[in-house]
Amino acid sequence: MANATTTQTLELKQLINGQWESATGKQAQSLNPADPQEVVASYATATEENLESAIAAGRAALADWDKVGIIGRGRVLRRAAQLLEERAEGIAVLMTREQGKTLADSRGEVGATVETLYYQAGSARNATGTTFPSGNGDELVRTIRRPVGVVGVITPWNFPLQIPAWKIAPALLWGNTVIWKSASDTPAVSVAFANLLIDAGVPAGVLNLLLGPGSLGDALVSHPGIAAVTFTGSVPVGHQIRERTVLRGAKLQMELGGHNAAIVMPDADVASAAAFIVAAAMSSTGQKCTATRRIIAVGDVHDKLLEALKPLVSALVSGPGIDADSSMGPVISARAQREVEEALDTARSEGATVLAQGSVPADAPGHYVTPTLLGGTDALTITREEVFGPVATLMRVANLDEAIALANATDFGLTASVFTSDEQAIRRCLDEVVAGLIKVNGPSTGSEVHAPFGGLRDSSFPAPREQNGDSCADFYTESKTAYIRTAPAGHAS
């Protein structure tokens, strides 16, 4: 693969059984969202024949990878973390070029991915089972974890390095092999990460990367050779994956987006709340599942909060992610740009008020969307349906009861935040707001790699959460219970 810091078009291949192979599917490209005339990468898409080869390679590699042992596999992940530190700047520049996010955001994602790899590597020395007392004095009862098998990994474009690491690192740690179908918009970052893992010592067949269309993902999750599927993406695709996997007995883990609320109580520190909310709503061009979409102001705090939000939103500057003066980059594609703009048009036609807007470059070729703060009610479509861009809506309610009811008035339940010093209000929100992750006096975005991450309702699937070591172990392994007695005294072999 060419040096990631160059601006030449990268020619990509599929990783199957330790070899970078050309595929025979349709030609595809990834484009620079800040300059769609620039082709970042070109490749022939994988076919179902390539998928069959990858699954066969994954199955053949299982036994030997299992024999490496969890501490040995942890060493491979630690080496991967070290290599990523060494290659950090080149991969960050490539990410900005291919995904569009600011270089600061790309560097932050690379750093978080390094931490993820180190954390999973360190988890290799955690306990791998539990012991229990037995009614028999000479008997030991313990649990044993075994790899689930070949794992299908499907990842999105908005965090093209970090989300794959969340999924792939623990899958490998626990002795599984992986078939990774990455996002079509960011294949070059995927190839860079896969290449890094191979250089770190992941053996042939243990990690296989396929670059292809959504139909390839459907074939992947439907395949009887795939024992578990982990997916991050849209609700409709998630529902299709559920139908393909659960009924055939495969394990499933999904994170499917959100419509996250920030509740601001009358006693909140308004300046702090406004800063956190704008960062959560607008950073990464609003292209985060955890982004704040709805701002719920309780009582008289509404006007003070609005006055604090306006200058922060107005100061936002969209531009090329490589430009240090840009607050945010473009959205990922022309289609994404059109969807956000159409949602804003619909909101205005339904009575929404534009309260504040940032700026976009004049006559720029990129897929830029104006950062926008709207005012309105829950009658607006945009307050119920997820819009993946830098748009948030400010709403007013009379009391905490109404705030909680409004926060819960969607089909989602990923994250939420509440800004207050009132302990009773905090406890009510923690108990009653439907969200898998709740922040108190902090942004709805961001999480710790050692804590479970996942949502409720349509934001997830009832399965072990991502990240946290115990959650990962529960998903990527099958558990056995062993009853072990000593052989009778004098037993002859």
What's the chain's average pLDDT? 95
Phi and psi at residue 327, to the nearest 5°: -75, -30
Tokens of 168: 């792939």
Looking at residue 2, its pLDDT comes to 39
Contact 150, 225 (CB under 8 A): yes
Residues acting as catalytic residues: 255, 289
* Amino acid, single-letter form, for residue 449: V
C-beta atoms surrounding 21 within 10 Å = 16
Q: What is the DSSP string of 288-330?
A: -TT-EEEEEEETTHHHHHHHHHHHHHHT-BB--TTSTT-SB--
160 secondary structure, DSSP code: T
Is the per-residue pLDDT at 5 higher than 60?
Answer: no
pLDDT digits (tens, 9 = 90+) for 181-216: 999 999 999 999 999 999 999 999 999 999 999 999
Is the per-residue pLDDT at 277 higher than 70?
Answer: yes
Helix %, strand %, coil % for the chain, to 5? 40, 25, 35
Looking at residue 7, its pLDDT comes to 74
Looking at residue 491, its pLDDT comes to 63
Is the per-residue pLDDT at 13 higher than 90?
Answer: yes
Closest among 461, 457, 419, 462 to 438, alpha carbons compared:
419
Contact 255, 230 (CB under 8 A): no
Bridge partner residues of 416 (DSSP): 261, 438
Q: What is the DSSP string of 113-145?
A: HHHHHHHHHHGGGS----EE--SSTTEEEEEEE
| Interval 31-58 mean pLDDT | 97
Using alpha carbons only, what angle is made at residue 278 by residues 274 and 279, rounded to the nearest 5 degrees?
Answer: 115
Domains, in order of start, for the chain:
10-256+461-481 (3.40.605.10), 260-440 (3.40.309.10)
| Distance separating alpha carbons of residues 244 and 431, to the nearest angstrom | 34
Closest among 295, 318, 317, 326 to 308, alpha carbons compared:
295
* Amino acid, single-letter form, for residue 360: V
C-beta atoms surrounding 122 within 10 Å = 15
For the chain, percent of residues with pLDDT exceeding 70: 98
Is the per-residue pLDDT at 420 higher than 90?
Answer: yes
| Distance separating alpha carbons of residues 248 and 242, to the nearest angstrom | 10
Residue in the block written with tokens 């050692």? 450
Looking at residue 211, its pLDDT comes to 97
Is 146 strand, coil or helix? Answer: strand
C-alpha dist (Å) from residue 477 to 3, 76, 147, 168, 417: 37, 19, 5, 13, 33
Distance of CA 278 to the CA centre of its chain: 20
Phi and psi at residue 399, to the nearest 5°: -155, 180
Tokens of 442: 């902090």
Looking at residue 6, its pLDDT comes to 56
| Interval 406-420 mean pLDDT | 97
Is the per-residue pLDDT at 3 higher than 60?
Answer: no
Q: Give just the sign of the alpha carbon dihedral 299, 429, 310, 346.
A: negative
Residue in the block written with tokens 């809506």? 393
In terms of DSSP bridges, do strands 372-375 and 391-397 run parallel, antiparallel, or are they unpaired? Answer: parallel
Closest among 67, 54, 65, 44 to 16, alpha carbons compared:
54
For the chain, percent of residues with pLDDT exceeding 90: 93
Tokens of 362: 């004049």
Is the per-residue pLDDT at 143 higher than 80?
Answer: yes
Is 442 strand, coil or helix? Answer: coil
Is the per-residue pLDDT at 4 higher than 80?
Answer: no
| Distance separating alpha carbons of residues 387 and 338, to the nearest angstrom | 11
